[in-house]
Amino acid sequence: MAENRRFTTAAGVPVANNTDIMTAGPRGPALLQDVWLIEKLAHFDREVIPERRMHAKGWGAYGTFTVTHDITRFTRAKIFSEVGKKTDLFTRFSSVAGERGAADAERDIRGFAVKFYTEEGNWDLVGNNTPVFFFRDPLRFPDLNHAIKRDPRTGLRSADNNWDFWSLLPEALHQVTIVMSERGLPKSFRHMHGFGSHTFSMINAANERVWVKFHFRTQQGIQNLTDAEAGEIVKNDRESHGRDLFTAIECGNFPKWTMFIQVMTEEQAKHHRHNPFDLTKVWPRGAYPLIEVGEFELNRNQENYFAEVEQSAFSPANVVPGIGFSPDKMLQARLFSYADAQRYRLGVNFNHIPVNAPKCPFHSYHRDGAMRTDGNLGGTRTYYPNSDDLWANQAAFAEPPMSVDGDGARWDHRVDDDHWEQPGNLFRAMNPAQQEALFGNTARAMGDAADHIKRRHIENCTRADPAYGAGVAAALGLALVAQADE
Ligand code: HEM
């Protein structure tokens, strides 16, 4: 038999028989010494790893980012150092609320996570297909997930829980309006935009900082599904988005997105009429126009779904020199949460899994830990300072100081706030057919939620625009009970 066809245990020992359990006599009970049976079942028993708490259902692909426009005036990041420069990347798209077995074609936000394997380390942009989020305080995040996932008593998804929570958070209306609009149910991952959503920073060679938002605009065009179309698709195919992406790439029909940035100077930020680090708001494009940067193409499917897509680990904390964070409270909390989740989901050495490993040399003093399989730095001294002069700080990459002010406290971010203007603007920018779709989608999604919750949402919509509230009320068959604020 050819060497590569011989069947062995994980320890490389030949398996003599993979079809008959070892028993005492032909009809007798099993023998403990059937170590192959025990190994096979024990491995099987551990084949499931925890799914991501949110964004559990997802699909991935590799690709290439190409710089098309010079932005070195804003950033010294090597990935943007010259026009024409190419960088490899891995992307994972996902839905948010459903579990790993959920159907793809459901009304939900889509995750849009990109890992750029730059020569100065991995840069992860872990965004969504929406430019804003439901709230601006990270203490809300676990509650969001408890509200949109399964009810603790029934184990069922609950419109009542979901809309109770959303309608009690007026700042959620902007995101809720997007999710209930036509764009809340993309036809496929290829037909949606992506957004970094948060405000990030860029730092140039002169060590000057600007605030930045990232946008990926689909070159395939926006295409959406109606609830009815999605219902038909789900009946026949729960994996419609994954199948679409895999098939397109396999056929050489590579999807592309154009990357843009919006830029705000530190001085402009001081005078911006809203908090520029508020994740529930967009920066108006009139004042902060889109600046084209480059494009990325997805052109290679994974060889193994579990190894590459399921074990991929993205984190907003992964930035490279020239790209930095901002005081956005949500971003600040995410800097902790992702690697923390991944240490639990994949183990402390998750960065060694090939899809997550940097493609540039990397030297940290971390050692040991579960599943350390790369030689563990051999005999290298893993303390600092050391007499071997290993590995020195790279002081040239230090960021300029970020000026902050104020007293440390739990500040009430609801003070002086405007929850209604931007969702109202979004509503008014829709044509009548799009507004009708918004009303109908909202009414269907609210389903059997209690009337007082429906009325509370109508009240929120009315504050954004009386016609928005009236439309949702009519679609729900409820009389208008609230008027807009004076
Ligand atoms: C996944 C936390 C807000 C986009 C995750 C995961 C955690 C998490 C723990 C699972 C990570 C893993 O197991 O690998 C949080 C917290 C948030 C927050 C604490 C707010 C305080 C956001 C926002 C966005 C976002 C605002 C988009 C702008 C994503 C995406 C994934 C994800 C795309 C899936 C990444 C992948 O494909 O592996 N989040 N998240 N999250 N989150 Fe968040």
Question: Residue 289: which pLDDT band, with cuts at 50, 70 and 90?
Answer: very high
Q: What digits encode the pLDDT tens for the residues 386-401?
A: 998 888 888 889 999 9
Considering only CA atoms, which residue is closest to atom 26 of ligand 1? 133
- Is 97 within the bounds of a domain? yes
Q: Is 213 in the pocket of ligand 1 (CB under 6 A)?
A: no
User: Which of these, 232, 145, 221, 231, lies nearest to 183 by C-alpha position?
Assistant: 221
Supply the CATH number for residue 332's domain. 2.40.180.10
- Is 6 within the bounds of a domain? no
Active-site residue among 55, 191, 193, 457?
Answer: 55
Least reliable range by pLDDT among 119-123, 137-141, 414-418: 414-418
Question: Residue 102: which pLDDT band, with cuts at 50, 70 and 90?
Answer: very high
Considering only CA atoms, which residue is closest to atom 40 of ligand 1? 334
pLDDT at 416: 64
Going from the Cα of 448 to the center of ligand 1, the distance in angstroms, rounded, reads 29
Q: Which residues of 382-420 are buried (b: 16+ CB within 10 A; e: fewer)?
A: eeeeeeeeeeeeeeeeeeeeeeeeeeeeeeeeeeebebb
pLDDT at 2: 83
Q: What digits encode the pLDDT tens for the residues 340-353?
A: 999 999 999 999 99
Q: Is 347 in the pocket of ligand 1 (CB under 6 A)?
A: no
Q: Is 330 in the pocket of ligand 1 (CB under 6 A)?
A: yes
- Is 350 within the bounds of a domain? yes
| C-alpha span between 162 and 147 (Å, rounded) | 5
Q: What digits encode the pLDDT tens for the residues 271-288?
A: 999 999 999 999 999 999
Place of tokens 């036809």: 187
- Is 271 within the bounds of a domain? yes
Going from the Cα of 426 to the center of ligand 1, the distance in angstroms, rounded, reads 25
CA of 340, closest atom in ligand 1: 9
Does the pLDDT at position 478 exceed 70? yes
How many domains are there within the chain?
A: 2
Considering only CA atoms, which residue is closest to atom 7 of ligand 1? 338
Q: Is 196 in the pocket of ligand 1 (CB under 6 A)?
A: no
More confident residue, 66 or 392: 66
Please report, for residues 76, 82, 394, the alpha-carbon distance to residue 208 in angstroms, rounded to integers and kept in the order given.
10, 19, 18
- Is 369 within the bounds of a domain? no
List the structure tokens of 303: 């060889």
Place of tokens 């799009």: 434
Does the pLDDT at position 243 exceed 80? yes
Q: Is 135 in the pocket of ligand 1 (CB under 6 A)?
A: no
Residue 115's H or E segment, with its range, is strand 110-118
Q: Is 355 in the pocket of ligand 1 (CB under 6 A)?
A: no
**Mean pLDDT of the region 389-414:** 88
- Is 324 within the bounds of a domain? yes
Q: Which residues of 312-334 are buried (b: 16+ CB within 10 A; e: fewer)?
A: bbbbbebbbbbbbbbebbbbeeb
- Residues 342 and 439 placed together within one structural domain of the fold: no
Considering only CA atoms, which residue is closest to atom 27 of ligand 1? 127
Q: What digits encode the pLDDT tens for the residues 164-211?
A: 999 999 999 999 999 999 999 999 999 999 999 999 999 999 999 999
DSSP per-residue letters across 389-453: -PSPP-GGGPPPPPP--S--S---TTTT--SSHHHHHHHHHS-HHHHHHHHHHHHHHHTT--HHH
- Residues 245 and 350 placed together within one structural domain of the fold: yes
If you compute the radius of gyration of the chain from its CA atoms, what whole number of angstroms results?
Answer: 26
| C-alpha span between 275 and 264 (Å, rounded) | 12
Mean confidence (pLDDT) of the chain:
96
Does the pLDDT at position 483 exceed 80? no
Does the pLDDT at position 437 exceed 50? yes
pLDDT at 480: 63
Question: Residue 230: which pLDDT band, with cuts at 50, 70 and 90?
Answer: very high
- Residues 69 and 209 placed together within one structural domain of the fold: yes
- Residues 341 and 446 placed together within one structural domain of the fold: no
- Positive or negative: CA dihedral 9, 11, 12, 16: negative
pLDDT at 479: 73
| C-alpha span between 445 and 453 (Å, rounded) | 13
Residue 471's H or E segment, with its range, is helix 466-476
Active-site residue flag, 318: no
pLDDT at 482: 47
Going from the Cα of 53 to the center of ligand 1, the distance in angstroms, rounded, reads 9
Q: What digits encode the pLDDT tens for the residues 34-61?
A: 999 999 999 999 999 999 999 999 999 9
Q: Is 141 in the pocket of ligand 1 (CB under 6 A)?
A: yes
Q: Cis check for the bond before 385: say yes or no (omega within 30 of 0).
A: yes
Going from the Cα of 261 to the center of ligand 1, the distance in angstroms, rounded, reads 21
Active-site residue flag, 193: no
- Residues 343 and 434 placed together within one structural domain of the fold: no
CA of 130, closest atom in ligand 1: 28
- Residues 336 and 432 placed together within one structural domain of the fold: no
- Residues 305 and 446 placed together within one structural domain of the fold: no
CA of 196, closest atom in ligand 1: 28
Cβ-contact 370, 349 below 8 angstroms:
yes
| C-alpha span between 197 and 190 (Å, rounded) | 19
- Residues 435 and 342 placed together within one structural domain of the fold: no
338 known member of a binding site: yes
- Residues 88 and 221 placed together within one structural domain of the fold: yes
Does the pLDDT at position 376 exceed 90? yes
Domain end, chosen from 356, 386, 403, is at: 356
Q: Which domain range does residue 429 map to? A: 420-476
**Mean pLDDT of the region 360-377:** 93
CA of 60, closest atom in ligand 1: 37
Q: Is 138 in the pocket of ligand 1 (CB under 6 A)?
A: yes
- Residues 437 and 299 placed together within one structural domain of the fold: no
- Is 206 within the bounds of a domain? yes
- Residues 316 and 464 placed together within one structural domain of the fold: no
Considering only CA atoms, which residue is closest to atom 13 of ligand 1? 52
- Is 269 within the bounds of a domain? yes
List the structure tokens of 109: 């936000």
Domain end, chosen from 319, 335, 356, is at: 356
Question: Residue 481: which pLDDT band, with cuts at 50, 70 and 90?
Answer: low
Whole-prediction pTM value? Answer: 0.96
- Residues 293 and 439 placed together within one structural domain of the fold: no
